[in-house]
Structure formats: C-alpha cells, structure tokens
Chain A
Amino acid sequence: MSPLQETQRLKNQTTLPNTVQTTVLKPTAKFIDLLSSLVPGFLITLAVGFMTLFLVLPLAVIFIEAFKLGIVEYFKSFQDPSAWHAIKLTLIATGISLPLNLVFGIAAAWAIAKFEFVGKSVLITLIDLPFAVSPIISGLIFVLMFGLQGWFGAWLAERDLQIIFAVPGIVLATIFVTFPFVARELIPLMQEQGSDEEQAAISLGATGWQSFYYITLPNIKWAVLYGVILCNARAMGEFGAVSVVSGHIRGKTNTVPLHIEILYNEYNVVAAFAMASLLALMGLVTLALKTFLEWKVQQDRNTTLEPTLAEVH
C-alpha cells in the first residue's frame, strides 16, 4: 500500500463513526447555535471588507488623486488639447459603434429568437466570439487584416486609405469588442416571449415593419436600453483592442483610456486621475441605470401572460 493510499484509508476510518461524533457534539448544541448566528455576520463583514478594499477604495482614490491639487488643477487637466482630443475620439468611436451594434444586435436577436434557419447555432457562437477572445487578439486581428503587412494592407496603401493607427481602426476595434452586448441581452428575452404576438399582429393585417415597431419593440425596449448602457460603458472604457490598433499618437489616435495611460506613465498623476474620474463617473451612472433597467426588464418578463382560471364575470 502506497503512503497516499494509507493516509486515505486512515482518513476514511476517522470519519466513519458518524454516530459517535453526533453524540459527542450533542451537549454543545448551544455552541452551534451561537456559531450559526455568528457565521452570517462574519461572512457579511468579510464581503463588505473585500468590496471596500477592492472596489470602493480604488474608486475613492481616483477622486482623491484627481482633486489632490485642488479643483482648479483638476479642471486645468481638461484644457490640454490632447485631453480634449482624446475625449472627442472616444465619443466618436462610441457614437459610431453604439448605433451600429444596436441595429445589429436587434437584427441578430430577432433572427435568432423568432426564426429557424440553417447556421443559427453558428451565428449564436459568433456573437459570443468577442467575449471569448482576449481584446489584444481582437486588435491584432484587425492589424493582420488592415495593417501595412496585412491581407488588405497593400490594396489599402495603394488607395491611400489608412485604417490601422487611425480613427477607422479604433472604431472597428470598438465595434468588434462591444457587439455582443445588445444581442446577448435580447436573445433570451425574445426567445421567452416567442412570436405569438407578432403572428397575431400580422394576421390582423400589420406589415412586418408595423409588427416590429408596434409589438416587438415595446416588449423589448428596456432590455434594449440595458444592452445599450452596457455597450456604451464598454465602448468608452475599452483599452486592449483599441490600444493595439491605435498606435498611441497623442492628439490624433488616443482615446480616453489610452490617454490616461500615457499621462500616468509621464507621472502626470493629477491629469491622469482627472481623466480617470470621467470614466469612473460614467461607470457609476451606468451602474445606477443598469440597476433601474434590470428591474424594468424583470417587470417585462413578469407580465408574460399566464392563463388564469378566474371566472367569467
């Protein structure tokens, strides 16, 4: 018998006489009571402590650092043209990718939830792709395709079109990383709701568009908003993929997160944290909206009509 097996055997032996253990423990039932009243408190303290340390504290640090040299210095940070440019670029990238992914997300969810077609499971998997691969890889894919050495590099260079290390690349990368959000939120809800109401609408003479606008959209509007909020948060905060395709050209291809990194590396702590405070603020607003929308979506779910057995009046 190997030593490992030996210890295993011993362990088994020690745990075997169960009945003996319980009889031994019986007189200490009071102790167990005490313990069970303490355990929840302990766990809560632990969780709260952990959250304070890893979530609240960092958040506080951002604002403390940002305001360390006073409110004047804080606002001065935004007067730097490159800071402004970064904010503008972030807004552009978000502003383009958000509506595109909104349309794409609704279309994909609609197709997946309401129709049967070949390749449906492939589409579902593809939607999840950006979640599955690291953002760096996502960025590299675009470099591979559109970079100078990439597949379409020569073709693009001939026509003087620049995608990588330019705004189009940043927009593409942002679209790619954020495209699952709306679709992912809608698919389960729309599947749950089925297509009975749409079929009823069509049988009453509505066109496909009318049925979408008057029936589908009102049923999913909160879930759409929820997806958009998450999509927005990710689009503004995306670092990895954008970092690969941007080239970090100050005042040209820097988004807010990239600009923060540069400022920080230059020991410009106040400016870095001032910019960071913007993202943090947006995060908090997102969180609040998200909580509200979750509640609304849940309500949409709950109103799915169940047949009742009540009497006719």
Chain B
Amino acid sequence: MGIEVQNVSKTFRSFKALKDVSLKVEDGELITLLGPSGSGKTTLLRIIAGLELPDDDNKGSVLFSGEDVAKKHVRDRQVGFVFQHYALFKHMSVFDNIAFGLRVRPKHERPSKQAIADKVTSLLKLIQLEQFATRFPSQLSGGQRQRVALARALAIEPRVLLLDEPFGALDAKVRQGLRTWLRRLHDEVHVTTILVTHDQEEALEVADRVVVMNQSKIEQVGTPEEVFHKPASEFVIDFLGNVNVFKGRLESGRAHFDSLAMDVPGLAHAPTGNANVYIRPHDLEIDRTKIGSQSLAANIERINPAGAHAKLTLLGVDGNEIQVDLPFERFTALNLKQGELVYVSPRKVHVFAPEYMI
C-alpha cells in the first residue's frame, strides 16, 4: 500500500515539530527517515500511524492508497508500529504478546484459537525465537525483544510497517545483524515500511530510498546513492558521514578555496559570493610531489591505520585540518610517516553557495 503525506504541519503548543512536510512512499518500498535528534522523525511517523493528529490547517492530509485517512482511528488504520523502546506487554509471555493483535479483534473477525496459535508459531519461526514462546519480555535480550516487537506488529498483517528507531538501544554488532535480517524480511513479505533512524550508515544500507530530515523539514529524498553522492544541501552532506569543509568564494562558475580553483558546472550562473566547499575524506588523493596546480601542501599530523582505510589527519599550510581516507594498499605503498609534508588533491568536490541556495 502506498502512503502519501501532503503538506502536513504539526505544532506542539508553540513549537513547530513539522513544517509543511510532503512525502510519497511507493507500495512495497522500504524508506528510512534519517535526521538528527529532534528533527521531527517520530512526529511524522506517529502522524502517519494516527497516534498524533496533524495541525488542522485544511492543507495537511495523509493518504493510504490514495484514500484520506484523517477520519480513521489508529486501530482501523492497520499499521504495525514498532516503538523505540519496544513497548512490549511486560506481563504477557512472548506468545501472548504476538497473539494480542489477533485476540482483541471483534468476535466475527477473530481467527480461531488454532489459527492464532499457527500464526504465532510461524511468526516465532520467522524471528527465530521458537523456543522462547513462554518467556516474558524481561527474560529476553534487547535484540530478542526487538524481534518480538516486530513479530507482534506483523501478526496483524499490517498494510504498512512503521519502525521508530527499532535498533536504537542496541550495540553495533546486534544492530548490524538485525538490519540485514530486516532487509531480508522485507524482501520476503514486501510490506511498505518506514524506518526511523539517526544512524546514517543504517539508513543508507537498508533503504530503497532515504528521507533526510532537519529542523522539522525534509531536506532531501532520494536513493542512498543519490543522497550520498548528490547531496541537495550542506546539511545533507554534513550529516551523511565525515566531510572536510573549506570556506571559499564563487566567481563566475569557479570555486576558489585555499590555493585552489575548480570549475563548478552546477553553479555556473550563480552570482559571485561566499561558497563552502565540501570534500569527502575518500575523495582526496595524497602524493609526495606536487602534481599540477590542483593540490594543497599539508603536514601529516596523525595516522590511524586500523581498518580498510587508513585515516590520516593533515594540517594544511593555512592551518586547515584535513581528513583523508586512503585505501590501505595505497597507504602502505606510499609508506607515509607522521610529520611528513605531502600534497593533497581533490577528486571530487561539492560546492554550496549559501546566499544562492536560499
């Protein structure tokens, strides 16, 4: 089922938690909502679920498969909502938790006891917790609780699955495991899914499309590739991973920063003015000798060779700190040492002219 959010705003007392947000989610898609704390992710999710009502400004609406659900109560929307802190029923066993949504149905819609048991058993198998049916939530690990919460939401065969930072409270390794598991699950059941996270790695890894939010607004919507390689704003490039920022100037389509000047095709007609130049650490090349004019002299301050990339911190002659990620083979081939003078040259830059953008 496709979801459409149109011009939705949400005000808490005087605080605007959502400002005129519009978003379209295709049927069967897995979307991640990514953004810093307080950017309105949970609020948007709760409005879609019907746990919160959008501002009554005659503009905002939420559509499920093209149908306005404003009048529909949460319980009739058939959404599977997984809460940030699980919200498992702690006085019920795992089995009863998962069965809850089926048991509370009105008599004529309620499946038989046997059908419920079968359904729960198959879900337990799906979340790989078959032998835990009689346990209580307090006797489960965090990752297990999370999977129970997911199974409970899936039991009602929701038309849409809404997950609010489902892996937020777990450690890195467990998150990784659950993430891959969730992606595989989604490929199997294909229910439209919106997942909230403030972990950019998670967002980029599992999503068909990523929605980047900041300060109650949507900054960019796109595939993981698009938001990473073609960030629409300074916020997006800054939020998605490490990045070096240089203050520079834009003059007739060329960006000048430090001692470099580069053509910026996208901003060819922008007026002359200040510009910020963003370069990802892995888009910088290092050499011992100066090649051409497009390189900056810098001293190697620190080297962290642990990992697939060697992470280098350089100090430019202008006093700029520059982060560089070098493939490990390249790093060993160059045999770089701390304190050495080297030349860095950018392969790819992102230029934003603040005055022009807005």
Co-assembled chains A and B: yes
Q: Which residues of A contact B (CB under 8 A)?
A: 196-197, 199-207, 210, 214-215, 218-219, 303-305, 307-313
Are B171 and A207 interface neighbours, CB within 8 A?
A: no
Are B170 and A307 interface neighbours, CB within 8 A?
A: yes
Are B143 and A312 interface neighbours, CB within 8 A?
A: yes
- The interface residues of chain B lying within 8 Å CB-to-CB of A203 are 49, 51, 74-75, 79-81, 153
- The interface residues of chain A lying within 8 Å CB-to-CB of B101 are 204-206
Which single member of B83, B105, B142, B155 contacts A308 (CB below 8 Å)? B142
Interface string of B128-166 (1 = CB under 8 A from A): 000000000110011111010000110110000000000
- The interface residues of chain A lying within 8 Å CB-to-CB of B156 are 204-205
Query: What CA separation (Å) do A307 and B171 show in the bound complex?
Result: 11
Given A203-B80, A205-B104, A309-B170, 10 other A-B contacts at CB below 8 A?
Answer: A199-B51, A200-B87, A204-B100, A205-B78, A206-B104, A207-B104, A214-B89, A218-B91, A307-B169, A308-B145
- The interface residues of chain B lying within 8 Å CB-to-CB of A309 are 142, 169-171, 174
| Known A203-B81, A204-B152: A305·B145 in contact at CB below 8 Å | yes
Asked if B307 is an interface residue, CB under 8 A from chain A, the answer is no
Are A310 and B143 interface neighbours, CB within 8 A?
A: yes
Query: What CA separation (Å) do A200 and B90 show in the bound complex?
Result: 12
Residue on B nearest A203 in the bound complex, by CB: B81
Asked if B278 is an interface residue, CB under 8 A from chain A, the answer is no
Q: Which residues of B contact A (CB under 8 A)?
A: 49, 51, 74-76, 78-81, 83, 85-91, 100-101, 104-105, 137-138, 141-145, 147, 152-153, 155-156, 169-171, 173-174, 177-178
Are A303 and B143 interface neighbours, CB within 8 A?
A: no
- The interface residues of chain A lying within 8 Å CB-to-CB of B153 are 203-204
Are A312 and B88 interface neighbours, CB within 8 A?
A: no
Which single member of A204, A214, A303, A312 contacts B177 (CB below 8 Å)? A312
B127 to chain A, nearest CB (A): 10
| Known A303-B90, A310-B143: A200·B104 in contact at CB below 8 Å | no
A303 to chain B, nearest CB (A): 5
Please provide the 3 A-B residue pairs with the shortest distance between their CB atoms, ordered closest to farther. Answer: A310-B141, A307-B169, A204-B101
Query: What CA separation (Å) do A218 and B90 show in the bound complex?
Result: 10
Query: What CA separation (Å) do A303 and B155 show in the bound complex?
Result: 25
